Chains A and B, each alone.
Chain A
Amino acid sequence: DPKIIQKPKYLVAVTGSEKILICEQYLGHNAMYWYRQSAKKPLEFMFSYSYQKLMDNQTASSRFQPQSSKKNHLDLQITALKPDDSATYFCASSQPGQGGTDYTFGSGTRLLVI
């Protein structure tokens, strides 16, 4: 069974629309993250959350908003979508304090903005 569930797996959106990417982890981890992967930037850090609190935000645009309704959920809302937002978005989690930062990644959501 997948330990980190991302939905949907594939998503096609129209320019200017809004979408929510879902992420749920069942590893009992306290930290969750969003990364974006595209041909231009292979694994680009976006956000980190710990105990449902925002720890770090490296996304320049306010169009990207993480939402954490539960400890094991970290969704990503993207508004006013642009073709440049087309990428694979990976959710990841880790358990801080174990001597390093080992991530488990979800399977990703492939977003295409047309």
Chain B
Amino acid sequence: QQQVRQSPQSLTVWEGETAILNCSYEDSTFDYFPWYWQFPRESPALLIAIRPVSNKKEDGRFTIFFNKREKKLSLHITDSQPGDSATYFCAASADNMGYKLTFGTGTSLLVDP
């Protein structure tokens, strides 16, 4: 059972557009949601994270929108740049699960110049 789901599997946007990456989860005990990005042949790196006490977290061009009732969140990338082309992973953890991060299957984003 995939506890963290992401859609779409791949996404292509033009430079300057807003990319929207979706994530949903099953376990209501999840209380921390980081997003990681991974460039080809590199390791994943933390991009931005949110806790359910907030429904929005912004860091520059990257914004997480969170809907606790629907168990959904999304990552919006405004003014997308070719350098944003990467695979984005939504992840989740819970205090009662130790320190384990459960990752989604990822969204591959391509930003065309």
A interface list, Cβ under 8 A from B? 31, 33, 35, 42-43, 45, 48, 50, 55-56, 90, 94, 96, 99-108
Q: With A105-B45, A106-B43, A107-B43 as given contacts, are A43 and B99 in contact (CB-CB < 8 Å)? A: no
Q: Which of B17-25, B58-66, B67-75, B102-110 lines the interface with chain A?
A: B102-110
Q: Are A42 and B93 in contact (CB under 8 A)?
A: no
B: contact size bracket: 20 to 34
B101 near A: Cβ within 8 Å? Answer: yes
Q: Are A45 and B100 in contact (CB under 8 A)?
A: yes
Q: Which of A42, A101, A108 contacts B43 (CB 8 A)?
A: A108
Closest to A47 in B: B100
Report Cα–Cα, A29/B101, bound state, in Å: 16
B98 near A: Cβ within 8 Å? Answer: yes
Report Cα–Cα, A106/B43, bound state, in Å: 7
CB contacts (< 8 Å) of A35 on chain B: these are 103
CB contacts (< 8 Å) of A45 on chain B: these are 100-103
